Each structure stands twice: as C-alpha cells, then as structure tokens.
Amino acid sequence: MAMRNAYIDRFPNEARLIEAAFWSSFLALAIGGSLGLLQALHRTDFLRIMESPDYYTVLTAHGVLLAITFTIFFLVGIFTWGVTTSLDRGLVDLRFSWGWYAMMVVGTVLVGVSILGGVVDAIPMNADVLFTFYAPLQPHPAFYVGLVLFVVGTWLAGADWFRTWLAWRSDNPDERIPLPTFMALTTTLFWYLCTLGVALSILLLLLPWSMGIVDSVNPLLTRTLFWYFGHAVVYFWLMPAYMLWYIMLPKLSGGKLFSDPLARVVFVLFLLLSTPTGIHHQYLDPGIAEGYKFIAMTNTMFLLLPSLLTAFTVVASMEHGARQRGGTGYLGWLKALPWRDPVFTGMALAGLMFAAAGFSGMINAGMNINYLVHNTWWIVGHFHLTVGTAVALTFMAAAYWFIPQVTGKELWNRSLGLVQVLVWFVGMTFMSNAMHRSGLFGVPRRTAEPQYENFAFEPAAGSMGEINAQVALGATLLTVSLALFLLNMVMTSLGGSSDEIPDNTYAETLSGPEDAPVVLDNLKLWTAIATVLVIFAYTLPLASIIDAGGLFGPGIDGLQLSIGSDPAVALEHLREVMP
C-alpha cells in the first residue's frame, strides 16, 4: 500500500502553525460575515435590531475583520505552505514563526476590543472609523496599537519566508527560485513597500494624536498616506489568490501551468505597479492637483496588464487540462472540467467574478467617470467582487483542499462544499449587481440612512424596493453559504485521521523556469525600480499637501461616530466637536 503524502506528513510542525492561521482567518470570517448581514438588513430597512449610530461600529468591525484579519491570516498560512512545499524544507525557527503569529493575534484582539467598545458601555473605548482609518475620525489608541502589532507580525512572517529561502539558496546556489516561493517573496517585498505609508501615518501622526500628544493632524495628509496603502492592500489580498489560480487550478483541471515565465512577469508587475496608484481614490479631494490625479489614473490603468496576462495564462492552463481529460471543440472543452469538485469550481467562479470586478474597476480608475460613482454603493459592489468573491471564495474553496493537508483528515462533505461555493456565487451576484446599479443613481455608501427627507432616488429600471430586496436576498444567501462553509470546516476537524488525502503537490508547467530570463529572479532590481516609481508618484503630492497644511493641520478636532448605544449622546458629541 502506498504511503500517504499529505503536507502534515512532511511538515508536522509547520502544519500546526498553518492550521492555527487558517482558524484565525475563519473566526474573523465568521464574525465579520455575520455582521455584514446586520448591515445589509439595516440599510435596506428589512430588519433593524440596532440603533443607527451602532451601524458604524458594525461597519468598522465588518471591514477590519474581513479586509484585514480574514484575508491576511489566510495569506500567511498559504505562503508558509507555498514556501516550505516548493523549497522542500521547513521554516528556520518555529519559535520565531509562532512569535509573529502571536503578535498578529494580540494585535487583532486589541483592535477588536477597541471596536467593541462602540456598543458595549463597559469597555471605555471607541473605534468607529469604518475601514478607512484616517483623520478626522479618531479611535482609541488601542486601535492603532493593535494595527501596528498586526502589521509588524506580517513583516516578521515575510522575514521568516526570506530566511527559509536564503537557507535553501545556500544549499542550492544555482537553482531558480521555485514559483510558489517567488510569488511569496515578491508579494512580501511589495507589502513592505506599501505599508510604509500607513506605518508612518499611524506612528508619527495618528497614534500621538489619539493619545493627546499632539492637538491635531493634517487630515488630507493622513488620508493620502492611508490610500498609499489602502489601494495597494487590495493586491496583497489578491496575490495569494493569484498564486492559487496559477499553481492549483491547472492541476485540478488535469493539466499543467501554461507558462511559469508569464506567472513571474505578473508578480513582478504587481510589485512595480501596485503602490503608485492610491491617489485615484482621491479624485474629489480638493487639496491634490489634477496633474497628480492624472498620473495616478495612468498608473492604475497599467495594472490591467498583469490581470489580463493572468486571465490568458490561467484559462489556457485550464483548457490544456480539459483537453487532457478528453475535452474537444472551441468551447466544448469547458464541459470536461471537474465542475463537481468544490475546490475547482469555487476558484473558477471566483476568477469569473474577478473579471467582472475588473470592468467596474476601470470605471473607478477613470477620472471623469469616477465622478459619477465616487462614494456611492457602486464602490461597495466593486470591492465585494474583489475581496468579497475573488479573494474570499478562492480562499474558502482552497480550504477544502488545504485543511485536509494540514490536519490529515478527509473533507467531511464534498457535496456540501459544492453547494456552498455555488450559493456564495449566486448570493454575490444578487447583492453586487444591486449595489452597482444603485450607485449609478447616487445611492451613498458609508451611511446607515441612505434615504433623505423630501428626496427620492430614481432608478432607470426597477425600483428602490427591488434594489433593496436584491441586496437583502444576496446578503442572506452569503450568510447561509458562510454557515455551510464553517460547518464543513468544523466537522472536518472533528473527524478522524484518513489515508484518503490527495498528495501535497502543485501544478507542473508546460514552460518552466528555465524558459524565464534570469533577470526575473533579481528581486533587488525590481524592488529598487518599484521604490523609484513610488518616489516619482508621491514625493510632489505629499510635499504640496504638507506645504499647504503642515504636518499637524489647521486644528481639526477628532470625531467619534458613536458613544455607547445611545444615539442622542452620539449626536450631542458630534455637535460638540464639529468645528
């Protein structure tokens, strides 16, 4: 009898770390996803079980837990798997590894408790800053301290992967960097670069401001430093999803990756282009010159290139696999793909949704068209296609393969997994479609009460009632899908050890690393170029902002959106601090 070849059999210690990271991710997904249902039902006026000021606490928790905690905990698990598997060696020092994991957990707890204080009077904190944490919204210092600990934990995780690679390279000086490790390292370098803005903003401005060390800060400066990070972080979520599409979808399809060199080019392009784009979130900010905004728009449009290359490479790889399975014809090969496999189907549907997100993203990136949809529900619909589906659905589908790998336990119910990914796809289709449509006629985001007195939104087709019904239905289906996913994960973990675990392998290539120019592996070169591009994109805008308003601004008091659960108290507080 052949011996089982699961990840846990080769790397039992690393498997425990990865499993812990996955479950931290799932816990954040469970809480954040459930809060998303409360938001949707409240805004659409189908069910209101909280006061409107508390909506902003719920929105903050939903955004931070899903966009930061869920995604990045899963990312560190995936990249740890990718580095150790492709290098065929364990991490250098597991004590160091558990250290960065513990730092991320402590940071998450601090952030979570500070947010919870917005609805629990016994907790003397408040952090109702939504996801976009910049002045003048002011949280408790614990919120910023928690964010710092979490981000530093991710930096140390990246250092762990580099240490492991350097140890491997000393034994294999002439070998090309294996593709999964290459993807993890380029993503880490990009993360180091893009988090500099938010790190400077928190440590030098926002944390001292929240602690009362300085009286005020320049809100436009903190906003710009946030978006220096805030758009780039989208690609930090997406790059592990891209890695899974490149190295898992071809294998699941029954074939090989079409081109290792193209995959490397894509990750180098993300390293170069992802950070100098954040100002496209600030087209309506009056303190930034139009020329800088035009440069940001141009940079953002260049990011279509790696996405289009990915679409070509991954679809070509899937077609190769389908034809190996007997698929024929121009489109007939699609029927030969393993659609009954929840891992494949979830990832493939996530990629399809990401294609739709790319089209709406082009609208967001264009200066003139952005004016129509800026700060409307269109934007919310867009990022629910990106992080909410391209990333979240890919990660959930991948978990059906990875949890058995790191636990040695067979997936509890594959059919339930297939139902789960399909329900998520349908639910997001309803919700995101309605959000995009409502954004076209001006329904605002970031508010608990989108309807205004003596004003009615006029859809070109349908009605506000129909739009709201689609959002509520979609959110309900997403919550049902989330419950099915968590049930499958819990029951799998409670099961016994099994020998029916797939081998811990990833896709081979039709065109391998030997066909890629050696310069692609020159990480120092690409990091230097990426740094220069960031300097070109941000030096003059930041200098202009500081020249106009100084580092600490014109004396703006901090705002807190809710105090406890009493809306009257919150309203009175806003009256006191408004300039």
Catalytic residue among 223, 281, 382, 437: 382
Q: 296: how many CB neighbours lie within 10 A of its CB?
A: 26
Catalytic residue flag (residue 573): no
DSSP assigned state of 218: -
- Which residue do the tokens 């014809």 mark? 329
Structure tokens at 350: 């996530």
Structure tokens at 287: 């303190």
Catalytic residue among 281, 384, 436, 437: 384
Range 509-512, long-range pairs (CB < 8 A, 24+ positions)? 509/179, 509/256, 509/257, 509/258, 509/259, 509/260, 510/256, 510/257, 510/258, 510/259, 510/317, 510/320, 511/258, 511/259, 511/260, 511/261, 511/262, 512/260
Catalytic residue among 42, 140, 231, 320: 231
Catalytic residue flag (residue 446): yes
As a whole number of Å, the CA-based R_g of the chain is 23
Catalytic residue flag (residue 374): no
Largest CA distance in the chain: 76
Catalytic residue among 235, 267, 425, 485: 235
Catalytic residue flag (residue 382): yes
Catalytic residue among 446, 457, 552, 573: 446
SS (H, E, C) 448-493: CCCCCCCCCCCCCCCCHHHHHHHHHHHHHHHHHHHHHHHHHHHHHH
Residue 314 to residue 256: CA distance in whole angstroms: 10
Catalytic residue flag (residue 133): no
Show the DSSP H helices in 325-413 as ranges: 342-365, 367-373, 377-385, 392-407
Catalytic residue flag (residue 455): no
DSSP assigned state of 517: -
- Which residue do the tokens 């903190």 mark? 222
Residue 266 to residue 195: CA distance in whole angstroms: 21
Catalytic residue flag (residue 384): yes
Residues with catalytic roles: 231, 235, 382-384, 445-446
